[in-house]
A and B are shown apart, each in its own frame.
Chain A
Amino acid sequence: MSYKIAVCSGKGGTGKTTVAVNLFSTIQTKWTKNVQLIDCDVEEPNDLLFFKDAKVINRSIVNQLVPVIDESQCTFCGKCEEYCEFNAISIIPSVKYASVDPNMCHSCGACLHACKFGAIQEHQHPIGELTSFSRGNQMDILEGSLKIGSPMQTKIIKDLKANACDESDILIYDAPPGTSCPVVETVSAADFVILVTEPTPFGLYDLRLTVDLMKEMQKDFGIVVNKAGMGDREVYAYIKEEDIELLAEIPFNREYAGQYAQGKLLSDVPPLIEQEYLKLAIYLKNRMSHD
């Protein structure tokens, strides 16, 4: 079994991807090659931008089952429409119209149970892709991407988790931002969660929401403060008050921010920053041996 680490942030743009990508690289160069990075931010997968040397080794389509109504069998009774909690079905008896909107459908299957006339059948409908990449001889990065506008984020995340390489020592999940369903889906399987925040009132507010979620889910977690040195000290006061482990502080560095912008996250990492990632990796290693 792999040890699973999820990297989350309540708010977007706190540097969640930066932390996930750097941690992955630190572990790979300093600890074990047997680590996989899984980009679960399926609406906006970005991890790959930082690995120019990565080659696609496999690409597969993710489908969802969407019901299709056979109008020649349908009596337009409207029962399926009533059963659909997601408003995906519209039936207009007067004009003998029946249709399912794949962009609203959650593939729950309730309408199949509603129809007593055998008028509904399910078909595969593509909602996104899984792509695995390699930077040497192993599959070390896995990315999921969702078709624009599809509500099926969690389906892709489930497939990502199912396709992760179970032989890896460590799996790093780069979670979507926020605290809603897709985050829960990503974090649910994790042994440990890293919450990335920034020392500003925005960062703190969203951190609180994420901490609440972690507590509700009974997850072990710790905090990484990114862009340290900017903003104020409130985040630190909160971390102390809540008795949460401060795992690392990544100092803000204007030049490095420019490098990040360029996609050059992993070359010429300033020593002060490199040191913090090493600290984080060592912490995780200790944790793993205790868990």
Chain B
Amino acid sequence: MIEITILSGKGGTGKTGITAAFASLAKNTVFADIDVDAPDLHLILKPEIKEENQFLGARIATIDRQVCTNCGLCKKECRFDAIHYRAEGGLEVNPFECEGCRLCERICPVQAISSEHSTNNHWFVSNTRFGSMLHAKMGPGEENSGKLVTTVRKNAKEKAREENADFLLNDGPPGVGCSAIASLTGVDKVILVTEPSKSGFHDAVRLIELVQKFNIPLYAVINKYDINTEIAKQMESFFLTQGIQLLGKIPFDEDMVNAIVNQKSIIEYRPDSEIARKIKEMWNKVTEPIEEIK
């Protein structure tokens, strides 16, 4: 089984639209939406949920004011300034500020503090018209530590093994933080979907730096390349110097958006279009069993 993660660095490059297109081409593949902060792939793949699981998020402390003696120690020691005096007396924890480190719980002289895992996060195993899919939903304001990403990936891998799948395709998170790292470690290939803008280029460079640290074969797609052909050219030569294989360039086309509006991949929506043909070519390049000699 080959595991591929699709990343974009910056959001809005059309990563999910392209992932959906790959999904409709991929045979014997399991899909995972590991952009847990803003998952969108399900809007096209329309999964039918088979299994729902709770993911234990970070802990949040609460103070039992019946027990608390108002000594103020916890408030003084909390490094995140999450504990406050209430106007009506007594202390309380602001759940949005609490990092769940349990320091206050451990130092409270009268054991007035306890902490519970947040139960706002869930992950799912589903069926879609293209195959099995794993995805998640995070509660608002939860800490996106990458742990949920790791959980979804781990279970997606198990599912892929169980089904004897040839590929596991991950729709990855934006950025270069811990969720991005969690989406990379140990994968076989990374596809970078970029767009030719200064900010897109800037973010791509940061992301490439990260992926190269992990020594993972990297492929690139320049989406909407004709928005700015000059930057597209610069990107192309940059990829060349970095040994990154350019899978292809996709022109700007409103049909990419229209496909999404119709909850379809571009392959389903415009099967005979130029874009569909290009994306097919790209998918073939990534999945070629023998690495290209270049």
Contact = CB atoms under 8 A, between A and B. Distances in A.
B42 to A, nearest CB: 9
B99 A179 contact: no
Interface in B22-42: 37-38, 40
A75 interface: no
B154 interface: no
Interface string B243-283: 00000000010100110110100000000000000000000
Interface in A225-254: 230-232, 254
Contacts of B188: none
A114 B58 CA distance: 20
B59 A85 contact: yes
A22 interface: no
A174 to B, nearest CB: 12
B197 A260 contact: yes
Interface string B104-119: 0011000000000000
A212 B140 CA distance: 7
A44, A49, A106, A153 — most chain B CB neighbours (10 Å): A44
B38 A179 contact: yes
Interface stretch (A9-17, A30-38, A91-99, A134-142): A9-17
Given A179-B141, A181-B144, A232-B261, A109 B199 contact: no
Given A179-B140, A230-B254, A149 B231 contact: no
Interface stretch (A53-61, A163-171, A200-208, A275-283): A200-208
Given A11-B11, A109-B77, A201-B261, A178 B37 contact: yes
Contacts of B85: none
B12 to A, nearest CB: 1
Contact of B38 (A149, A153, A177): A177
A44 B40 contact: no
A109 B11 contact: no
A85 B9 CA distance: 29
13 contacts: A14-B11, A17-B199, A44-B175, A49-B199, A86-B101, A107-B79, A109-B79, A110-B103, A149-B177, A151-B178, A178-B144, A202-B16, A261-B200
Given A12-B38, A13-B11, A262-B228, A177 B174 contact: yes
A3 interface: no
User: 4 closest Cβ contacts across the A-B interface?
Assistant: A13-B12, A12-B11, A108-B101, A261-B197
B12, B107, B206 — most chain A CB neighbours (10 Å): B12
Given A179-B141, A188-B96, A261-B231, A109 B38 contact: no
A150 to B, nearest CB: 7
A257 B59 CA distance: 43
A261 B198 CA distance: 6
B144, B175, B196 — most chain A CB neighbours (10 Å): B175
B141 A206 contact: no
A28 interface: no
Contact of B140 (A85, A86, A209, A258): A209
A43 B43 CA distance: 26
Contacts, number: 169
Q: Could you say which interface size class chain A belongs to?
A: 35 or more
B176 A109 contact: no
A230 B14 CA distance: 14
Contact of A14 (B12, B101, B198, B231): B12
Contacts of A150: 177
Contacts of B106: 83, 110, 113-114
A151 B155 CA distance: 23
B210 interface: yes
Given A46-B202, A108-B80, A202 B96 contact: no
B100 interface: yes
Contacts of A217: 96, 141
A100 interface: no
Nearest to A10: B38
A184 B178 CA distance: 17
A148 interface: yes
A291 interface: no
Contacts of A126: none
A258 B227 contact: yes
A49 B99 CA distance: 33
